[in-house]
Structure 1
Amino acid sequence: MIKVDNLSYSFPQKDLYKNISFTLEEGQHCAFIGTSGSGKSTLIDIIMDPDRYMFDGKLEINSNCRIGYVSQFSELDKIKEVTVFDYIGEKFIKLQNELTSICTEMETSSDLDPLLEKYQQALDAFDAIGGDNYESNINKKLNLANLIKHENRRVSELSGGEFKLIQVIKEMLISPDLMIMDEPDVFLDFENLNSLKNLINSHRGTMLVITHNRYLLNHCFDKIVHLENMELQEFDGRYMDYNFFLLQCKIELQELAITDNEEIERNEILINKLRTIATSNSEAARGKALNARVKIQERLEARRIKAPFVAIKQPDICLVTANEIEETIALKVKDYSLAFDDMLLENVTFEIKSSDKVALIGPNGTGKTTLLRDIFENNHESIEIHEDVEVTYLSQLQGEGLNESNTILEEFLIAGFNTSQEVQSYISNYGFEGEVINQKIEALSGGEKNILQLAKVSASRANLLLLDEPTSHLDTYSQIALEKAIENYKGAILMISHDFYTIANCMDFVLIIKDKTIRKMSMQKFKKMIYASHFDRDYLEMEQKKKSIETKIELALKDTDFVLAKVLSEELEELIKLL
């Protein structure tokens, strides 16, 4: 379906790919992963419109290949006032109307040949996208996504998550040879995420999907393409098998590295001795011995650092507070109500203590973001914030937290940093190094912008963080780094999230919106609820055990106990087979 061979491409500011190659076979469902800013979306753009880009290498894709595409950016506001059914069936309805129009024209025309040819072309196009059964196919997909009740609703009335699913259905129904999706899961609630999983798994065609969502990665794909440090590798198999493969590589490489380091040190001593001898003795043999030893050293050095897929740069997210306060009620919400056209929340009451980590969850469109904004603005009579509490806010709309026309340097100087050196030192912990601080924020990837927002949140040193979908666009490594930062944070957090893993790994309890109110739910009950709706039997327990073993392996590697690491990896392999 696709063949990429030794492709290289660079921006003026940075190199993206260096001789990368992969193939995508017919019928494969491929997850495209890699750290934020590694160039995944750009590679998708190159595949879709190669003539726009000056790249080296080869890209082979059939000229007749019909591509369905779902962008990571929703454009719900640009959609006309049409029903869900008409929006999904737009191409079918247009061709159907064209066929009807041609037939009407034939009734009065004396020259039928060009009309017959035109009719046949339209009919072929209609048949190519499965036109005969398009109405029933739309209903089947809407049923699968649990959206059949919205069939006659205006598209403009849908939530962002519902509209994303409608976009996926619309593209799938034209029977594309290749379906490409760029982070289709961003901002989807649990139910809509499950619907997306069902849609992906029901699709019989070839798929290439950029995603960082661990639920989808573990349940939807039979091939992994991983772009990292300008290089790419492909893996035929499940995401959890691929992760295990990387872990095995890490154990082997770290064990080799110790041996290599010892060999490099011995070699360096020999090179210095040979260099000393060569300067006082001009025999050719001495020079050859020195050159041979230098080449050995170069090979050892290359092997030591050649680990682009295990030496992944994880940002050092560190959430700190300048004013850690004693255990008290940091936030009190009492009899809070919210209405737009309809009542969304009614007489909501809850409290958050000064060290609580709390997830706010609920379906798309139930008022979560508005509640968070009202708390941040603190001008609502139902909201009370403790006088010693300082609040900062991370918006899911990145343009609110960042001025995208600024460079990274300008953004942090405005935020209170004094010098470019101070900014450089701080921002390097988050993966922004060297000249990249002079790059415009608008040129960054979605994940890089979110990392930048987290860096600003941390720099505020507030003791109550309001985080609206902080894991959106983040790669899995950054998600894990954020989870660790949340666990270690000494203040309070109220976080809107639909990421089950992040909630389960670092939250104390959940506030769940249901029937226009908010109720407190323990983590144990939350896990049971998700378990009942979204996971296979015993999946959660095995996932927790898997995480525990992986942590033990990491600790064994820190202690250079490779025997224990290998024993644990065998135990992990057996668990993965069960998963």
Structure 2
Amino acid sequence: MLVGLQNVTFEFGARVIVEDATWHIQPNERIGLIGFNGTGKSTLLKVLVGQYAPSAGTVERGRETTIGYLHQDLLSFDTNESILQVALSAFEKVLQLEKEIEALGHELEKTGDEKTLIAYTDKLHELELLGGYNIQHKTEEVLQGLGFSNADLNRPYKEFSGGWRMRVLLAKMILAQPDLLLLDEPTNHLDLPSIEWLEKYLQHYQGAVVIVSHDKYFLNRMVTKIVELYQRQLHFYNGNYEFYEKEKAVRIEMQQKAYENQQDYIRQNERLVERFRAKASKAAMAQSIMKKLDKLDRIEDVTVERPDLRINFRVDKVPGRVIVELDQLSKAFGDNVILKNAKAEIDRGDKIALIGANGKGKSTLLRIIADVESFSGNRKWGHNVDESFYAQHQLEALHLNNSILEEMRGCGSQMTDLELRALLGCFLFSGDDTDKKIKILSGGEKARVALAKTIVSRANFLMLDEPTNHLDMHSVDLLIGALNKYEGTLILVSHDRHFIARTANKIWEIVDGEIKEFKGPYDEWVAWNERMKKNRDTKKTEEGPSKIKPEEKPVVAPAPPQAANIPINKELKKELQRQQKLFQQTEEALNKNKALLQQLEKDLANPDLYSDKDRFVKTEQAYKAAVAENQQLEKKYEEVFTKLMQLEEQQ
């Protein structure tokens, strides 16, 4: 065991965060610590590292256990050192050795003493064993993985914003390789490429990792155990987040049934007591029943901490087919060219996710579309477009002296106060919170108010910049549900892959100053990109190393042929059309089969099924057949897709 809680109770003022909790963290475990906002997840991490002492119970730590703890409070650290120097300070022992070796070297030059030579040689050997000759390369590799360029490495740490500083501190922490890493919202300050890099790095990390995160996608890929802080108790689930969701639903159902059965038992016995109490001959029996009920270990009713309120968008008017036309767009900040003669179109019904690394211009393009950023070129609104733009800087438009409820009333939504309070509950403002003045809210709370205002705006075109940044998982799911029902058009920027995968039907990416469009959801875009990379790697291998130029950059999307006089190969075109049709049919069959699989899995999770043997056998056989069919269809999908790519390249 590395660290453990033994019957720990912790109270923060009058509020109990956790009660009689026992939790032992073992070497190499990958744990996700989850819970609604405000339940005390970050506080529990502070108890684990010893920043807070428990009210009762003990916190146990191995004598040699080293702990790395990444949290928001670290941002108070400041220095004139370069980010490379800050990250290198993770290797404290190696740096100390280097100083000792340098001092011994100077002494050896002066004296030539044999004892000094032996000490010098021993220290060099120790440095080699500690990997001291590789620390610079390793540090640069980690910093680059987290999104820093070579030019950034020698820039002073104090020049960077909070998000980039947090990346430096994360790099330092993982380079130190503690036995246990405690990471509080590590993906909050990362873009998609950096999150993917961190995932791969942590999957091979030689130590235990505990992660507090609202990023379901990240948790699903990273953890093998979920610890939920719920109603002051710790609940353990041996699986990733997806497993937790299914298992929790089963546990809640079982607890509810057990509660109802116990309530029936209590009511029956209470009726007996009432009947027997008046009769002297039965009084002893009544007393016995009452004692038995008093000793009963009561099962709690299943209460949902946050009700499943529905967020509904309302659209006043239907726009034309085209929402926005972008043509010959160009935008640069000094030498940093964001867009160069870019062209794109947003059509009615599009739900676009604008993705890519930080600094590529996602938010800039969103502001250009919203007409709040200068640019050269043409952008043109379509007919009847009623737009609403949500971004962090929109917080300045909030009226500081209004209460939250008053701010919502001024949106012209025609919603009642009851409806507005229900909506605000989805954004973590409950009860008297809605009467708070805007001026006393934190940055995160103001952002949630601004997002709630966007939702009730009745717009038919939404532009959302990082809308999930200050929401917990439950609220993100509510927002996903609302956006899926939304009848309007939207474009969003987000690094939450679960959110993107569940909302977008198109992907936009800025590549070499152009807007590349992929017509399909995020998961298909990821699979397509992987196939393209695989095809490029295969092609490069076949061509041989001599034909690959070092400066060659991977092409994100295959470019259409430019030459106008190339004769059309009719047979090739016919075969391409046939494969496209086959691809569409296979995709439809695969989606249909996946829906069947989900239904059968739901049936198999129903305890009532196992009371009917014939029905159970029939359902199980159907499930096995659907799994086999799914494997065949996925294989066929891969084959047809590869064939299609080959034919498109031949055109």
Instruction: State TM-score, norm by structure 1.
Output: 0.75
Counterpart of 1:196 in structure 2 is 198
Task: Assess, with a 3 A threshold, how the Cα gap between structure 1 residues 350 and 81 changes in structure 2: closer, same or farther.
Answer: farther
1:393 aligns with 2:392: no
Instruction: Identify which of 332, 336, 339 aligns with 1:339.
Output: 332
Secondary structure (helix, strand or coil) at the match of 1:305 reads: coil
- Secondary structure of 1:415's partner? helix
Is this contact kept in 2: 1:187–1:498, CA < 8 A?
Answer: no
Superposed displacement of residue 550, structure 1: 5.1
Instruction: Please say if 1:460 is aligned against 2:454.
Output: no
Which range is displaced more, 159-168 or 348-357? 159-168
- Cα distance 1:217–1:263, how it changes in 2: closer, same or farther (>3 A)? closer
> Are 1:323 and 2:316 matched, yes or no?
yes
Q: What is the match of residue 476 of structure 2? A: 479
Q: Structure 1's 424 and 190: CA in aligned 2 closer, same or farther, altered over 3 A? A: closer
SS of equivalent residue, structure 1 residue 27? coil
Q: Pairwise mapping of residues 129-208 of structure 1 onto structure 2 (< 5 A)? A: 131=132, 133-139=134-140, 141=142, 152=153, 154=155, 165-208=167-210
Q: Give 2:222's aligned residue.
A: 220
What is the Cα deviation at residue 388 of structure 1?
Answer: 4.5
Kindly indicate whether the alpha-carbon contact (under 8 Å) linking 1:217 and 1:239 is maintained by their aligned counterparts in 2. yes
- Taking the TM superposition and a 5 Å limit, the aligned residue runs for 1:35-46 are 35-46=36-47
- Other-structure match for 2:87: 88
Distance change (3 Å), C-alpha of 1:326 and 1:397: closer
Task: Give the match for residue 306 of structure 2.
Answer: 313
Mean Cα deviation higher: 219-228 or 90-99? 90-99
> Could you say which residue in structure 2 is the equivalent of 1:497?
494
Letter in 1 for 2:40: G
**How far apart are residue 129 of structure 1 and its match?**
7.9
CA distance in 2: counterparts of 1:30 and 1:18, whole angstroms: 20
Say which SS state the counterpart of residue 409 (structure 2) adopts. coil
Judging changes above 3 Å, is the alpha-carbon distance between structure 1 residues 306 and 416 closer, same or farther for their aligned structure 2 residues? closer
Q: What one-letter code is carried by the residue in structure 2 that aligns with 1:186?
A: N
Cα deviation for residue 551 of structure 1 reads 6.6
Q: Kindly state the Cα deviation for residue 181 of structure 1 after the two structures are TM-superposed.
A: 1.4
Note if 1:5 corresponds to 2:1.
no
Deviation of the 1:16 alpha carbon = 2.5
Cα pair distance change 1:290/1:387, threshold 3 Å: farther
Q: Distance in 2 between matches of 1:377 and 1:467?
A: 14
Q: Secondary structure at the match of 1:17?
A: strand
Shift of 1:512: 1.7
Q: Report Cα offsets for 1:441-489 as digits up to 9, x if no partner.
A: 9999998776655434323343322211223354444333322111011
1:269-327 per-position Cα deviation (integer Å, ceiling 9, x unaligned):
6635643664687963364266257559x75xx436258xxx56365351412514244
CA–CA separation in structure 1 for the residues paired with 2:424 and 2:616: 36
1:551-570 aligned within 5 A: none
Which among 483, 502, 506 is matched to residue 509 of structure 1? 506
CA distance in 2, matches of 1:546, 1:155: 52
Mapped partners of 2:161, 2:74: distance in 1: 11
Task: For residue 363 of structure 1, give the secondary structure of its aligned residue in structure 2.
Answer: coil
Alpha-carbon distance between aligned partners in 2 of 1:103 and 1:480, rounded to the nearest angstrom = 62
1:47-87 Cα deviation digits (max 9, x unpaired): 2343x4563332222466433233358959966472x5333
Residue deviations 1:310-348 (CA, integer Å, cap 9, x gap): x56365351412514244433343433322131112233
Query: Please, which runs of 5 or more residues in structure 2 have no aligned partner?
Result: 110-119, 535-588, 635-651
Q: Report which stretch shifted further, 4-13 or 341-350.
A: 4-13
Whole-angstrom CA distance in 2 between matches of 1:25 and 1:443: 42
For residue 339 of structure 1, give the secondary structure of its aligned residue in structure 2: strand
Question: Which residue matches 2:485?
Answer: 488
Q: Is the 8 A contact 2:331 2:338 kept in 1?
A: yes
Cα gap change, 1:556 to 1:252, in 2 (>3 Å): same
Query: Amino acid of the residue matched to residue 154 of structure 1?
Result: R
Give the RMSD, CA atoms, in angstroms.
5.3
Distance 1:171 1:304, change over 3 A: closer
Q: Structure 1 residue 513: deviation in Å?
A: 1.2
- Which moved further from structure 2: 223-232 or 54-63? 54-63
State how far apart, in whole Å, the 2-side matches of 1:387 and 1:414 are.
29
> CA-to-partner distance for each residue in 1:399-445, whole Å, 9 max, x for gaps?
66879x99xx9333233279987764443355544455577999999
- The alpha carbon displacement at 1:261 in A equals 3.4
Q: In 2, distance between residues paired with 1:129 and 1:319?
A: 58
| Aligned-partner residue type, residue 249 of structure 1 | R
For residue 413 of structure 1, give the secondary structure of its aligned residue in structure 2.
Answer: helix
Conserved 8 A contact 1:2-1:59: yes
2:344 alignment partner in structure 1: 350
For normalisation by structure 2, the TM-score amounts to: 0.68
Q: 1:569 to 1:385 in 2, by over 3 A?
A: farther
Question: Residues 171, 126 of structure 1: CA spacing in aligned structure 2 closer, same or farther, 3 A cutoff?
Answer: farther
> Relative to structure 1, is the Cα distance of residues 263 and 14 closer, same or farther in structure 2, using a 3 angstrom cutoff?
closer
Please give the alpha-carbon distance, in whole angstroms, between the structure 2 residues aligned to 1:3 and 1:559: 35
Structure 1: distance between partners of 2:610 and 2:305:
20
Give the % identical residues: 24
Q: In the alignment, does 2:525 pair up with 1:522?
A: no
Give the distance between the partners of 2:13 and 2:453, measured in 1 at CA. 26
Aligned match of 2:643: none
Residue 115 of structure 1: aligned partner? none
2:232 alignment partner in structure 1: 230
Cα pair distance change 1:247/1:283, threshold 3 Å: closer
- Among residues 364, 370, 387, which one is paired with 2:358 in the alignment? 364
Letter in 1 for 2:359: G
**Residue 253 of structure 1: how far off its partner (Å):** 4.1
* Closer/same/farther in 2, CA of residues 421 and 318 from structure 1, 3 Å limit: closer
Distance 2:108 2:228 in 1: 58
Q: Which residue of 2 aligns with 1:275?
A: 274
Measured in 1, the distance between the counterparts of 2:445 and 2:602 equals 26
Which residue is 1:245 aligned to?
A: 247
CA deviation profile, 1:226-281 (whole Å, cap 9, x unmatched) = 22232212344444444443344345445x35xx5366357536635643664687
For residue 25 of structure 1, what is the aligned residue in structure 2?
A: 26
Larger radius of gyration: 2
Q: Provide Cα deviations, 1:366-396, integer angstroms capped at 9, x if missing partner.
A: 1111232344454757444457544333335
CA 1:261–1:286 in 2, change beyond 3 Å: closer, same or farther? same
Contact 1:129 1:173 in 2 (8 A): no
Question: Closer, same or farther in 2 for the Cα pair 1:100/1:152, shift >3 Å?
Answer: same
Counterpart of 2:135, as a letter, is Y
Task: Write the mapping of 1:281-292 to structure 2, written as runs, cut at 5 A.
Answer: 284-285=283-284, 287-288=286-287, 291=290
AA aligned to 1:22 is W
| Cα distance change of structure 1 residues 100 and 557 upon mapping to structure 2, 3 Å threshold | closer
For residues 291 and 99 of structure 2, what CA distance do their matches in structure 1 show? 75
Secondary structure of 1:336's match? strand
CA contact (8 A) 1:37 1:448 kept: no
Aligned residue pairs: how many?
Answer: 552
Of 482-491 and 40-49, the range deviating more from structure 2: 40-49
Inter-partner Cα distance in structure 1 for 2:607 and 2:487: 28
Q: Provide the residue aligned with 1:70 in structure 2.
A: 70
Q: Between 266-275 and 73-82, report the one with greater CA deviation.
A: 73-82
